[in-house]
Structure 1
Amino acid sequence: MLSLTHWIDGQPQAARNGGWRAVHAPADTREYARLADGDEADVEAAVQAATRAWPAWSSLRGSERAAWLERLASALESRLEAFAQAESRDGGKPIRLARQIEIPRAIANLRFFAHAATQIGSEAHHGEAGLNYTLRQPLGAVATISPWNLPLYLFTWKIAPALAAGNTVVAKPSEVTPLTATMLGELAAEIGFPAGVLNIVHGTGPRVGEPLVLHPRIKAVSFTGSTGVGQRIAALAGPQLKKISLELGGKNPTLVFADSDWRNQLDTLVRSAFQNSGQICLCGSRLLVERAIYDEFREAFSARAAALRVGDPADEATDLGPLVSQAHHDKVTACIARARIEGGRFLLGGEASARGGWFVEPVLIEGLGPDSASNREEIFGPVATLQAFDDDAQALALANAGDYGLAAMIWTRDLDRAHRMAARLRAGIVWINTWLMRDLRTPFGGMGRSGLGREGGMEAMRFFTEARNVCIATG
């Protein structure tokens, strides 16, 4: 039985209230660790540590902060296999996914923002009203709240730009998947990372997340998670006029046109719907297919999805592991039952899994319109729907139906159509003939119920800094 503690001021610390909560392995539902169950007292200790550490950290040259992030990235890379095994066990994700994509992306996040620390600069303007230059200065102690679906991937996506910009951090990882964040805190201490610069506090949203958002010394909050929690954070931070970045849910459309090379891209199309058992905010859960190819596409897609190997995440051959928790399993299976009540025709899946653990087999449904709850509400599981369209206008209308606006995929050989559709889709990210191809310099985020603000590249560095203009009168 592992004991996972906070990391505050460079030290492992149990919860001040003495509380612990169970951590379960999704593949067999067994408790394998106990987690410090923090509260406001732990938040206060972490904020104090971050506040004490901020003057020295913010005074370092960008190149010096970059060197610390590079050192942490190298230490993580040297332990890649151990972190991949931990991520697979903790979240139920296939070991191949953790080893080949998610831990390498965490390393890349640290390295990318290490470079960003040396590249962000001030701006200068002259010739209109004196000489102006704009400083971009760190905020102070900031909070990051990261989700359970991509634990280390998104944990580092937040802490790296915050640290690179000169802030100190109090980070709250999900209490459902806390293992790799805790291991990273331990690794940071091992390499001598300055105490108090990165603090990790475990616990639930009401007992840790809310006190963190409300704390007057926390200058900004970066959150990734559900739309409901994002709205709660906005309500708490609003009266303090505190900076917030909210990366929330998605109900993303995949538009497949008859002229596309969909037959040769079927593996990517299936992966875009079901990777990580659909527990990625960027998955294309609404497949919109041109009617001329609908029947052929339906049969081919169903067959390829049925061939996905569901099983033990530690098995190298596994494509899909279990869902992350009992609560999430119950939510997804309730959504599947609702789709049946709505009149959906199940082409694949829909029955209870006979496996042990929180498994849900891939589900593919047709016959539901754009106004159905199944096509409007985020399910966040291995559940995809099919809808047919006749022309570009109908495809666009179906794609933009609903309140989310995170990502969209367009599959077509007609680049005029692709550019035209991309400009009119209500989505913060549009992929054309690909999925999940990411340049870390680009802005990331959505609109509507998918969030507020942008992450990535200089957008993240701007969020974690305050602009100060200095104007000098010139003769």
Structure 2
Amino acid sequence: MTSKLSPFGAGAAYSRGIAFIDGQYVEATDAAVYDNINPATGEVIAQIEVADEVMVDRAVQAARKAGRGQWRLMSDDQRAEIMRRVAAGIEARFDDFLAAEMRDTGKPVSLASHLDIPRGAANFRVFADVMKHANESTTMTTPDGGRAINYSIRAPLGVIAVVCPWNLPLLLMTWKVAPALACGNTVVVKPSEETPSTALLLGEVMRDAGVPDGVYNVVNGFGGASTGEFLTNHPDVDGVTFTGETGTGEAIMRAAARGVRPVSFELGGKNAGLIFADCNIEAAIETTARSVFANAGQVCLQTERLYVQRPIFDQFVAGLKAKAEALKVGDPWDKSTTLGPLISQEHRNKVLSYYEAARQQGAETVTGGGIPDMEEALAGGSWIQPTLWTGLADDAKCVTEEIFGPCAHIRPFDDEEEAVALANNSPYGLASMTWTNDVSRAHRVASQLEAGTNWVNAWFLRDLRAPFGGSKRSGIGREGGTHSLEFYTELRNVCIKL
């Protein structure tokens, strides 16, 4: 295993994805490799090395050593200052991060430039001061009539395994890495095998910002029986944070049970939107189009189940159909492109299987349901049509299972009680969206919905200080602002008799 310089040039693609361990890019001469594919074109953009058990152990040991050294001993203010430099470093290399993210995901520049990269930098700034709100103290009377002071301290959890998804690679990775580092932990990141580039590029920014060697490490590879399993099973990993599908979360949870290690999970969703007849229907249609079709539906907070009060049902369906058909697929670098591809051919086949299942189960396809015609340069990409259905039963596959594509089923309802029951009729509980101009109804309905985040007359409106996470099969724990402290630190009590 040898070290090498950065695989990144100024805005240039890299030809080989390698690990970032202990402050260096490293490669193994005999490592297995796989093709990293641009989803928009189907072209191979890089060869990615799969980190074996030896390389994963090297990354974990580098993180453990760093966690016992300078990083842990820094003051909160010192760590916060370095994190601000990381944020500035991301912004200084905005074009490099944008190119890397777009090559990996195929998403339109209009989305990546306004969401993914800015939020990647913002996550470090938001969490830079998080530990300033961590301490508390109390006094007590002792059994002999004396007095004692109790105070709490938050110690870093240790080495955190950060296992990331492919849909918002930089945003969701930094959402975990930033609070972990703010609390004094060290990390080993396993990005999705589909989208490794920005995690690797961030290694350079970390190093240039003054993050000590070994604090931030990246290993590439697959999940089960590969890099991800080696990492989450490693006995020197002290906690695991993961965003992804529920089945993978269950497997990681079983691994984390050995050693009784804590986990923080944001898992699958089948999010509901409730559209009441008294809403601003134009605003509801406009926002719902984003909540269904943004990032080609590859957003954990996407709305896949829409329940519309009967008096406005036909008007809403027609309006959302028009929005779907106005979406433009095409070159991701064209600023007028509004719908990108799915992440891979494999994922497109999965989503198409749901399109077929909807037809077989009696759905009326309002729009879409297939593959769009693409120009020759993009014909090898994983493109799919935005799709809407009506007429499915409440227990139909496309109504109950997470699809993770640009699609939704729309069903009418009659009253508030029915709407809440329909929304809660799911094993998932990540997010919901309610549209109404009745303030009392807004509070009443939102408080009854079994989901971690419940928007009213909005979608994807995020305050990074607010608690974020899922209920039921959609996750464990809450992150965001000081809530992240509950996972990334261990709370200890000190009692001193006076």
| TM-score bin, normalised by smaller chain | over 0.9
**How do 1:337-352 and structure 2 match up within 5 A?**
337-352=356-371
Tell me the TM-score normalised to structure 2 length: 0.93
Kindly provide the CA deviation profile for residues 256-282 of structure 1, in whole angstroms up to 9, marking residues without a partner as x: 001000213422110111100000010
Does 243-252 or 353-362 show the bigger shift?
353-362
- Do structure 1's residue 366 and structure 2's residue 390 form an aligned pair? yes
- Do structure 1's residue 331 and structure 2's residue 375 form an aligned pair? no
User: Sequence identity of aligned pairs in percent?
Assistant: 46
**Root-mean-square deviation (CA), in Å?**
1.3
- Do structure 1's residue 150 and structure 2's residue 206 form an aligned pair? no
Moved over 3 A (4+): 127-130
What number of residue pairs does the alignment pair up? 473
**How do 1:201-280 and structure 2 match up within 5 A?**
201-206=219-224, 207-280=226-299
Which of 404, 411, 421 is residue 435 of structure 2 equivalent to? Answer: 411
| Paired letter, 2:191 | P
Q: Does the CA-based 8 Å contact 1:15-1:37 persist in structure 2? A: no
Identify the residue that residue 94 of structure 1 maps to in structure 2.
108
Does 202-211 or 152-161 show the bigger shift?
202-211
CA shift at 1:471, angstroms? 1.9
Secondary structure in 2 matching 1:264: helix
Cα distance in 2, alignment partners of residues 199 and 98 from structure 1: 24
Cα distance in 2, alignment partners of residues 473 and 111 from structure 1: 39
**How do 1:155-170 and structure 2 match up within 5 A?**
155-170=173-188
Change in CA separation of 1:237 and 1:16 when aligned onto 2, cut-off 3 Å: farther
| Paired letter, 2:443 | H
Cα distance in 2, alignment partners of residues 334 and 457 from structure 1: 39
- Do structure 1's residue 30 and structure 2's residue 43 form an aligned pair? yes
Identify the residue that residue 302 of structure 1 maps to in structure 2.
321
Q: Does the CA-based 8 Å contact 2:158-2:185 persist in structure 1? A: yes
CA shift at 1:16, angstroms? 6.2
Q: Does the CA-based 8 Å contact 1:16-1:42 persist in structure 2? A: no
Which of 119, 136, 139 is residue 126 of structure 1 equivalent to? Answer: 139
Identify the residue that residue 73 of structure 1 maps to in structure 2.
87
Secondary structure in 2 matching 1:240: coil
Identify the residue that residue 198 of structure 2 maps to in structure 1.
180
Identify the residue that residue 7 of structure 1 maps to in structure 2.
20
Cα distance in 2, alignment partners of residues 211 and 179 from structure 1: 21
Kindly provide the CA deviation profile for residues 433-463 of structure 1, in whole angstroms up to 9, marking residues without a partner as x: 0000101111100111101111111111221
Kindly provide the CA deviation profile for residues 280-299 of structure 1, in whole angstroms up to 9, marking residues without a partner as x: 01011111100010011111
Identify the residue that residue 50 of structure 1 maps to in structure 2.
63
Q: Does the CA-based 8 Å contact 1:369-1:387 persist in structure 2? A: no
CA shift at 1:354, angstroms? 2.5
Identify the residue that residue 74 of structure 2 maps to in structure 1.
60
Secondary structure in 2 matching 1:194: coil
| Paired letter, 1:253 | A
Q: Does the CA-based 8 Å contact 2:389-2:409 persist in structure 1? A: yes
- Do structure 1's residue 41 and structure 2's residue 54 form an aligned pair? yes
Cα distance in 2, alignment partners of residues 437 and 17 from structure 1: 46
| Paired letter, 2:114 | Q
Q: Does the CA-based 8 Å contact 1:16-1:38 persist in structure 2? A: no
- Do structure 1's residue 196 and structure 2's residue 185 form an aligned pair? no
Cα distance in 1, alignment partners of residues 482 and 363 from structure 2: 44
Does 16-25 or 103-112 show the bigger shift?
16-25
| Paired letter, 1:370 | D
Identify the residue that residue 378 of structure 1 maps to in structure 2.
402
Which of 112, 116, 134 is residue 126 of structure 2 equivalent to? Answer: 112
Kindly provide the CA deviation profile for residues 116-158 of structure 1, in whole angstroms up to 9, marking residues without a partner as x: 14x1322112246542111110122111111000000001001
Cα distance in 1, alignment partners of residues 301 and 171 from structure 2: 14
Q: Does the CA-based 8 Å contact 1:16-1:41 persist in structure 2? A: no
Q: Does the CA-based 8 Å contact 1:202-1:208 persist in structure 2? A: yes
